[in-house]
Structure 1
Amino acid sequence: MNYFEFESILQNGCFISLFCATLFSWWETTFTNVFNKKIIFYYQKNKFLFQSRLFVWFSSLFLGTILITRWFISQHAPLSNLYESLLWLCWGILTFGLLGNQSEITHSSVVAVISSSALLINGFANLSLPLSMRTPSYLIPALQSNWLLMHVSVMMLSYSCLFFGSLVSLIFLAVSKKKLEISFSLQFLNHMLLEKEKNILFLKTLDQISVRSITTGFCLLTIGILSGAVWANEAWGSYWSWDPKETWAFITWLVFATYLHFRVFQRWEGFRSAILASFGLITLWICYFGLNWLGQGLHTYGLFTNKI
């Protein structure tokens, strides 16, 4: 068995695991209880939560094995093009998503969002990108630096944390928009009050998961930008050149810095901070994927180029 056959087996296993995790978690999430013919957001039984989380762990293991194998085959960190960066992003979202969702209350919706997001990213990487990009290759001269692992890996981990935290904020917005109509008939009153309390606790937990992930991602993004500036000065003689990637990374940093500022100093919690995090998701998506797709700038993992 050669490397390509081995990676194909791992990719198939990852795709199947992600598909099963997505199926089970969305099945669990969309099962709601009906009271007075009104659909409400409701989480209790979680019949398939264990299975969906197990499949997500399998997917993370498959992706981690692929990255380690590519590292061994190519003799450098697998961070040299768009395909490899997508694998890192996918692995990071799954891993941080699982680690960040370890609270006492289980959330099938969180598993559903991270598994479906990873499934889309993984599917795009393997079905849309050219074979030449998916084949391990030697580093171009511009990437042959010890700063590659330090800068790019930290940036990809920061993107993963920020993506996960922003996705959880979207879940918060979706849940908080659900209008829970309480019936005051005696037969439903106690049960509905209990459900309302559960929903409030669920929203608070989502808010805490989101802010922890975004705080971690923001710290990593800061380290990644600073290490990139040092690398740029070493390679090009300038710490900052207002390259499109640099500019959008700085914009993304400002958005999430604003998010943390209002969280800490203005005591913003819940809905308002989730709006800011959702806006940060847009800037982050433009910074990472939009510029990569267009192939703009010196830092871009373009579709047909290998730039840093």
Structure 2
Amino acid sequence: MVEDANLTVDPVDEAFDVLFATLLDPAVLIDPARDRFVAANPAALRFLGYDEAELREMSPADIHPHELSRIDAFFRDILREGRKTADDLSCRLRDGRTVPALIRADVVRRAAGPRVLIVIRDQRDHQLARLGGAVRQLAHDLKNALSTAQLVCDRLAAHEDDKVRLAAESMTRSLERATRLCAETAQASRTGPASAPERERFLLADVLEELEVTVLDPGSTARRLVDASGDAVILDADFDQTYRILLNLARNAFDAGARELRIWGRHDSTGATIWVRDDGPGLPDGMRARLQTEKHGVAGVMGTGLGLSIAAELCRGHGGALELEETGPEGTCFRVTLPAPA
């Protein structure tokens, strides 16, 4: 994108234009008198997503819509000092995403007048690295705390009361699962998404037995979890991940006001299907509309709740899916598919 193409370019401007166009980082030129972009290199056009004509009609405030006072102060400092660096600004791209950025600015002299050269450095990788470090530290601290709780469970496992021993066994399994999650989280923060599910063959009833201990209050009749399968349902999947899928669906249902949760399944040579039906009030209209559109299935909607997102992600890891089968005033039903391994 060449600035003011109708003007005669002097040799200095011409040399600058060559360097400007070949910068690897996104770079733009701004006319401070008109508060408009007047040039952008190819990297900037790709990064911001605008074409040349669109960008010429825009001002810096258009890509920093929530930081107007800070942008004004930033440009005042540039014109007074000749250069400025800021690492706490962001750029709004054409597709609506807001990207954290490191901004370096210098005043340059052009034949058409002084211009502000802005070089943009995408900070997303840097922020992810910092987040990864924080996650690893948190996972480490949680693992230490869980180890202490595990010692208490080991003592309770020798208790003379059968109910106490059974509760200790359930707590031990939950703590082991939480410890593994901490380790997986720390590993994912270094290397990316978790590895493929560790498949084994087990009964759906075994998962529901552990789920019942987790989501139902001992001695309370306010909530019920019913295994409605009839026949034994054999699953070839990751036991812990299957438990997490059903746990998230169960907690969502009970938190929404459901009193009974019915879970059943079936299996054949292609894999297993599990249905989870509650008697709650149904999903809110806005959430229901988003879930039922082809463009935004459960797996793709982060705003519908973290529990559903986690469950959907775990289903996708198995090559399956989490789908909303129906919802209304009499309850909601989700379908979980876990295909057999190829």
Fold similarity call, TM over 0.5:
no
TM-score w.r.t. length of structure 1: 0.27
Between 1 and 2, higher relative CO (CA 8 Å, sep ≥ 6) is seen in 1
Pick the structure with more helix per residue.
1
Pick the structure with more strand per residue.
2
The higher radius of gyration belongs to 2
